[in-house]
Amino acid sequence: MDKNILSGIKKNSTIELKFVDLTYEGLGVAKHEGLAIFVKGALPGESGKVRITKVEKRFAFGEIINLDVTSPNRMPVENKMLDSTLPLQHLSYDKQLEFKTKIVKDVFAKNTLLKDTVIRDTIAAKDEWNYRNKTQVPVRSVKGKMATGVFANDSHRLIPVDDFKINLPGIDEIVTGVRDILISFDEKPYDEGTHTGNIRHIIVRKSSRTEEAMVIIITRSKSLFPKSKIIPAITERFPNVVSIVHNINNRRTSAVFGDKSEILFGKSSYEEKLAGKSFDVTAQSFLQVNIPQAEVLYEKALALLNLKGTETVLDAYCGIGTISLALADRAQQVIGIEVIPAAVEIAKVNAEKNGIKNVKFECGLVEDVIADLEVSLDAVVVDPPRKGLEPAFIDALLEKKPGKLVYISCNPATLVRDLERFVEAGYELFDVQPVDLFPQTAHVETVCLLSRRSQ
């Protein structure tokens, strides 16, 4: 017999619950007759009436009807429509930091080999709001009019939002301004059901240090009409826009970018400053969205490496070279590896832009390039995507036997999985340090050091 039947819980029923924890996604957790119930917007210590919205065999979901007891850590919600993008906006910032530390601790505690690892307290962000240097906003029709906003949870129903609360000042204004200009020239929003309409996304990237901004308009068709009027309308309204890119995505897909791009105005990049260096950033370049906290993260990584200036260092997943160029100041030689050819070209431009000559960038899969390297590696920095390191790369890296390895991770689960491999192979783990780059969200970055034990 299904456990949900034993619990007596049915969809649309209402029950009184007391919340005892948060999931790693920030949902409140309550228990009812042994069944876990997850509720958005609830905090530990709170209790109240909940309507059940979905029932599975081992758990259920609900929504708050009213709270009889509220947490002293509850904060006023900036915008309820942003629940899907800011799942922790109702939690005080000091408790957000405790929550993120707990996320990392809990993942380590589940691993037999790493369960006794000491996890440092999460480093707070300088700005809790208005920190993101990039926004990627879908465009759809709402009540017959082109709108920009966010998708409702588990759907592609657009909720109009003009102020995202966490974007750098000026970014939201550019998004809504570009949208209104497109409306004035009778461009149509994309309809994914019928695969008609044209404007799919508006993306804005902006530096708080240089104030330069880039606008990327993603369309279904090749046309953006009339370009001769749309482009000057944008640049006259927003003089800090130094680049306008038109990307075409004519596929039925949830992927944002298509394969073809055209520079409609200005440069192919905008300028960002990070850790005392200047970087050209293109439309699809990876760059941490919170620059001040990225500097904190990278400085922690450099401190852990404690380079003397004589080392050869590998920067895997180097992107446009942000970490590589920081390493170059403190190492004899840096080798950056990146699989995306366009990113490698920009990384080379950025090295030249900053007058740095002791960095070499290689294009290819990290596991292939490292296997072909003929130099010995004193230290390695890895900053992989959420899926973590490929087993083939770990194997190739262990063959090189670097003395130190700094791992920067955006996913504690894959971090722990990969660290286990290195510890089993004779490395010792030090200084697991979470850093908050994404206030009001459940995401956390972690940086740590692995040092090879002497044989």
Q: What are 191-195's contacts with CB under 8 Å, separation 24+?
A: 191/140, 191/141, 192/156, 192/252, 195/220, 195/252
Closest CA to 204 of 194, 216, 187: 216
Residues in Cβ contact with 67 at an 8 Å cutoff, skipping those fewer than 6 apart: 42, 46, 47, 48
Give the C-alpha separation, 363 to 369, whole Å.
Answer: 8
8 Å CB contact between 28 and 46: yes
Give the C-alpha separation, 5 to 19, whole Å.
Answer: 22
Amino acid at residue number 313: V
Amino acid at residue number 230: I
8 Å CB contact between 170 and 240: yes
- Candidates 318, 363, 410, 448; catalytic one: 410
Per-position b or e across 12-31, b if 16+ CB within 10 A of its CB: eeebebebeebebebbbbbe
Give the C-alpha separation, 303 to 315, whole Å.
Answer: 15
Q: Which structure tokens are listed for 279?
A: 């970087």
Q: Assess whether 448 carries a catalytic annotation.
A: no
Give me the helices (H) in 163-290, please.
171-184, 227-237
Query: Which is it for the CA torsion 239, 245, 246, 249, positive or negative?
Result: negative
Q: How far is CA 307 from CA 58, 88, 335, in A?
A: 50, 38, 15
- Identify the burial level of 310 via C-beta atoms within 10 angstroms of its C-beta, where 0-12 means exposed, 13-18 middle and 19 or more buried: exposed
Which residues have a catalytic role annotated?
A: 410
